[in-house]
Structure 1
């Protein structure tokens, strides 16, 4: 279950990505995006021209035009909603976008965490300080993971998302680490998680379940295909 690329050095704390690392986020997002599209449609019938796929394409277009915004999923989705609604002539697009975003956050936090993940995090938290470092907008309290993490670091308040170093800096300062290498970051994305952690100076563990090792331009310290491999850290 382990494939090493660099020597894993002693570390003092662990940071976890959330979406698609600790749970399958795809069905959650499909349901959340449909919920928001339906909510907006009820308020603005003209948005039927977009539908879920149209809103997603607009989000991707805005993300390509603004890399920093692309790393903050909350800000990106809010900007997408406001932009789209303004095109449809809504009188107060910002206010409606904020309403729709609130609906999105309700739906996107309807996450089912596997029992095995609860057990793993409980075991790890008994030995290491754990924090969440995520570009997404999952709420660790609302999804039932608040008992394991000391804090969650996400974009906003001047902090850019991964692979920018801002969240790793904030996490390391919050954990009172002396060196970046004392943090082991675990995540599924080859750029946001692996490259972001390595550029900051942390150690990176890439979780790649059931798929080839593609998209990595920076080699992590190690790769695992199953989260249960993390019991070896105890």
Structure 2
């Protein structure tokens, strides 16, 4: 296949907000079962403050959401009174629990049908800044994708042009043969354009207008995933 179609995940194939809310509630219960009062002491506001502190101490973690969350858990547990070695072990166990909940997504309508249709004609892959694992059985979409490029695994994030180039190289196609689909005007659209790829802006329900300060516009715009087969075909003619 000479065309590689890549997908963003969060807010492109599912709504990420409820996923994170559910996962955070699950984590509160997980911590309180083991350390009563932990979630009360470390409120969401304080956890955000710890996150800022971690990013100031290690700015290279900004793109690595997995490592950042682990560091916040570790710091919170140490402040709760755990010795460093125990805090590290508990933080890793907590992260594993969070990552399980992170995969419990509710797919947008028609995702499976569209991926099934597109996979008949194109190579499909993922380029994501998040830490969802598209091959996890909870998500159940692994059979449609050849591979996934995750920011937390390769050390860079969209809109860096190189992340799109890595995907093209992995698929063995020229970057001009990559078509990226995503909801974010900068991370997805501008990033792909700067790399020399083409982009499709997923503006769900047409809820947004293109901002003048967002940079170059996408090669195409869709308001429903059902539009993708026709739009992608038009971009390959």
Could you tell me the TM-score, scaled by structure 2's length?
0.83
Give the aligned length: 223
Which of the pair has the greater relative contact order for Cα pairs under 8 Å at 6+ separation? Answer: 1
Specify every segment of 5 or more residues in structure 2 that has no aligned partner in the other structure, as ranges: none
Question: For residues 188 and 56 of structure 1, do their structure 2 counterparts lie closer, same or farther at Cα, with a shift above 3 Å needed?
Answer: farther
Deviation by residue 1:211-234 (Cα, 9 ceiling, x = unmatched): 333462332222222221102134
Deviation by residue 1:53-78 (Cα, 9 ceiling, x = unmatched): 54345435645775542222212211
Residues in 1 aligned to 2:51 and 2:228: alpha-carbon distance in whole angstroms: 35
SS at match of 2:81: coil
Residues 192 and 198 of structure 2 are in contact (CA less than 8 Å); yes or no, is this contact kept in structure 1? Answer: yes
Residue 105 of structure 2 is aligned with which of 107, 111, 135?
A: 111
Residue 23 of structure 1 is aligned with which of 14, 29, 35?
A: 14
Give the C-alpha shift of residue 188 in structure 1. Answer: 0.9
1:216 alignment partner in structure 2:
214
1:88 is aligned to 2:60? no
Residue 145 of structure 1 is aligned with which of 138, 141, 146?
A: 141
1:187 is aligned to 2:182? yes
Residues 68 and 160 of structure 1 are in contact (CA less than 8 Å); yes or no, is this contact kept in structure 2? Answer: no
Give the C-alpha shift of residue 184 in structure 1. Answer: 0.8
Residues in 2 aligned to 1:110 and 1:18: alpha-carbon distance in whole angstroms: 13
2:227 alignment partner in structure 1:
229
Question: For residues 213 and 61 of structure 1, do their structure 2 counterparts lie closer, same or farther at Cα, with a shift above 3 Å needed?
Answer: farther
Question: For residues 38 and 171 of structure 1, do their structure 2 counterparts lie closer, same or farther at Cα, with a shift above 3 Å needed?
Answer: same
Residues in 1 aligned to 2:58 and 2:201: alpha-carbon distance in whole angstroms: 26
Deviation by residue 1:77-99 (Cα, 9 ceiling, x = unmatched): 11222222222232222211111
Residues 14 and 131 of structure 1 are in contact (CA less than 8 Å); yes or no, is this contact kept in structure 2? Answer: yes
Question: For residues 145 and 217 of structure 1, do their structure 2 counterparts lie closer, same or farther at Cα, with a shift above 3 Å needed?
Answer: same
SS at match of 1:152: strand
1:174 is aligned to 2:165? no
1:77 alignment partner in structure 2:
69
Give the C-alpha shift of residue 202 in structure 1. Answer: 1.4
Specify every segment of 5 or more residues in structure 1 that has no aligned partner in the other structure, as ranges: 1-10
Which structure has more helix as a fraction of its residues?
Answer: 2
Deviation by residue 1:3-23 (Cα, 9 ceiling, x = unmatched): xxxxxxxx7111000111011
Could you tell me the TM-score, scaled by structure 1's length?
0.84
1:8 alignment partner in structure 2:
none
| Superposed CA RMSD | 2.3
Residues 206 and 220 of structure 1 are in contact (CA less than 8 Å); yes or no, is this contact kept in structure 2? Answer: yes
Question: For residues 199 and 94 of structure 1, do their structure 2 counterparts lie closer, same or farther at Cα, with a shift above 3 Å needed?
Answer: farther
